[in-house]
Amino acid sequence: MKFGTLLIHNGYESDPATGALGVPVFQTSTFDQGDLSQVREFDYARSGNPTRKALEETIAALEGGVRGYAFGSGIAAIASALGIFAAGDHIVAAEDIYGGSYRILNTFYKRWGLEHTAVDAADPENIRRAVKPNTRAVFLETPSNPLLKITDLRASIAIAKEAGLITIVDNTFMTPYLQQPLKLGADMVVHSATKFLGGHSDVLSGLAVTATEELGKRIYAVQNGFGAVPGPWDVWLVLRGLKTLKARLDAQGKTAGIVCRKLREHPHVEAVYYPGLADHPGKQIHDGQAAGGGAVFSFKTKTTEQALRFLGKTQLAAAAVSLGGVETIASYPVRMSHAAIPRAERERLGITDTLIRISAGLEDPEDLLADFEEALR
Ligand SMILES: *Cc1c(COP(=O)(O)O)cnc(C)c1O
């Protein structure tokens, strides 16, 4: 089956007990073990829940992986994925990974003895140079946030494999509809399902998918041990959101392209960053590993005042953290996602006071364009 069909026919499209077209929400903490003569599949909801299992199997199939695991948030999925490592291990991470991932590596995991080196992964040779005898993994995200920098997944994975490391890819921005890192040789994919997978800005959720059973068992030990699991209603919302993933991303990606092409001609706009633009750095690499530019882009105005005015004046874009919902969201990285990064470091990374990140929603592009023009004016 192709991707759009797989979204609808995920193996759970009809409940065997009742014929219901929706996956039942099993709102229970525990399961009757009968006369204890048999070990039953479910015993306690932290260890497993049938609603959660439906989402876990669905995301594993969509990513082309073997095992899927659901968590209470994206960062819970990432923290749990990193929980398979031990004190004294080292990982190489892209320097522009999600701010929350950067934070747990620099605080929580640092305290617990997991070392890391942050590198500019746009040049995969930087990954090779950072590998040490105790390195266990490479942690990547492409396109990156908020400048949509591209990392060559094939080249990076080849370097990791050569050094005997596993590769973990945060695939939140692209989703498995546009990019499937496991098929390019990655060992694990992590997601904030809060974004495009859930798709409606109404739920926090995270997912991890592994390429092997063995790695799956290691993640399961952390999922069950740490217990950062989602409740069944939240899982159900992600399952419902997933059904329209392709339709939403097709429309939102198209809108992102239309708005970007218009914005770059605007006299107040300094630069536009979007992997769907023909001259975006790394565009050729991106096109070789992903099936579209996605629905997130960013742009720089010429002055800080223009950026702040835009955020204040736009009527259709919510000035908010997050992305991937049906509504257009404009975020201001220096005050939001990247506020914790020291100013000098931010400037080095190109995250300036003039930078705005947009997640294109499902509004009609003509209306968005008119609103953006007005806000910039
Ligand atoms: C939002 C986000 C996360 C964290 O997910 P939460 O659901 O907010 O915990 C991780 N990675 C990326 C790329 C994100 O955009």
**What is the per-residue pLDDT across 93-111, written as a single tens digit (0 to 9) for each?**
999 899 899 999 999 999 9
Q: Supply the mean pLDDT for the chain.
A: 97
Q: What is the mean pLDDT of residues 17-43?
A: 95
Query: What is the CB < 6 Å shell around ligand 1?
Result: 73-75, 98, 100, 141, 145, 170, 172-173, 192, 194-195, 204, 206
The DSSP bridge pattern shows strands 166-170 and 135-141 to be: parallel
Active site residue 170: yes
Angle at 161 between CA 159 and CA 163, to 5 degrees: 75
Average pLDDT estimate for 40-53: 97
- Annotation says 309 is catalytic: no
pLDDT of the residue at 364: 98
Cα of 16 vs its chain's centroid, Å: 32
Q: pLDDT tier at 135 (50, 70, 90 boundaries)?
A: very high
What is the pTM assigned to this prediction?
A: 0.97
The percentage of the chain sitting over the pLDDT mark of 70, rounded to a whole number, equals: 100
Residue 218: burial class (beta carbons within 10 Å; 0-12, 13-18, 19+): middle
Q: What is the CATH number of domain 3-242?
A: 3.40.640.10
Mean of the pLDDT values across residues 266-273?
A: 98
pLDDT band at 298 (very low <50, low <70, confident <90, very high): very high
Locate 331 and state its tokens. 């975020």
Task: Please give the pLDDT value at position 338.
Answer: 86
> Taking 80 as the threshold, does the pLDDT of residue 237 lie above it?
yes
Residues of the chain with CATH 3.40.640.10: 3-242
> Cis before residue 281, ω within 30 degrees of 0?
no
Residue 31 pLDDT class (50, 70, 90 cuts): very high
Report pLDDT digits (tens) over 107-128.
999 999 999 999 999 999 999 9
Catalytic-role residue among 98, 109, 177, 273 = 98
User: Tokens 């953290």, residue?
Assistant: 321
Q: Which CATH number fits domain 245-376: 3.90.1150.10, 1.10.3720.10, 3.90.650.10, 1.10.10.10?
A: 3.90.1150.10
Residue 281 pLDDT: 97
Q: Please give the Cα distance from 80 to 18 (Å, whole number).
A: 35
pLDDT for 277 = 98
| pLDDT of amino acid 110 | 97
pLDDT digits (tens, 9 = 90+) for 192-228: 999 999 999 999 999 999 999 999 999 999 999 999 9
Where in the chain is CATH 3.90.1150.10?
245-376
Report pLDDT for 165.
Answer: 98
CA of residue 100 to ligand 1 center, whole Å: 7
- 287 catalytic? Reply is no
Indicate if the pLDDT at residue 185 is higher than 80.
yes
Does the active-site annotation cover 220? no
Q: How far apart are CA 5 and CA 228, in angstroms?
A: 31
From the number of C-beta atoms within 10 Å of its C-beta (0-12, 13-18, 19+), residue 63 rates as buried
Give the Å distance between the CA of 98 and the centre of ligand 1.
7
Query: What percent of the chain stands above pLDDT 90?
Result: 96
Span from the CA of 308 to the centroid of ligand 1 (angstroms): 24
Give yes or no for residue 337 having a pLDDT over 90.
Answer: no
How many Å separate Cα 241 from the centre of its chain?
15
Which of 46, 154, 262, 313 is the catalytic position? 46
- For residue 331, is pLDDT > 90? yes
Q: Which among 105, 172, 331 is the best mutation to test ligand 1's pocket, defined by most ligand atoms within 8 Å of the CB?
A: 172
**Is the pLDDT reported for residue 345 higher than 90?**
no
3-class DSSP string for the chain:
CCHHHHHHCCCCCCCCCCCCCCCCCCCCCECCCCCCCCCCCCCECCCCCHHHHHHHHHHHHHHCCCEEEEECCHHHHHHHHHCCCCCCCEEEEECCCCHHHHHHHHCHHHHCCCEEEEECCCCCHHHHHHCCCCEEEEEEECCCCCCCCCCCHHHHHHHHHHCCCEEEEECCCCHHHHCCHHHHCCCEEEEECCCCCCCCCCCCCEEEEECCHHHHHHHHHHHHHHCCCCCHHHHHHHHHHHCCHHHHHHHHHHHHHHHHHHHCCCCCEEEEECCCCCCCCCHHHHHHHCCCCCCEEEEEECCHHHHHHHHHHCCCCEECCCCCCCCCEEECCCCCCCCCCCHHHHHHHCCCCCEEEEECCCCCHHHHHHHHHHHHC
What are the φ and ψ backbone dihedral angles of 85, each rounded to 5 degrees?
Answer: -90, 170
Per-residue pLDDT at 340: 76
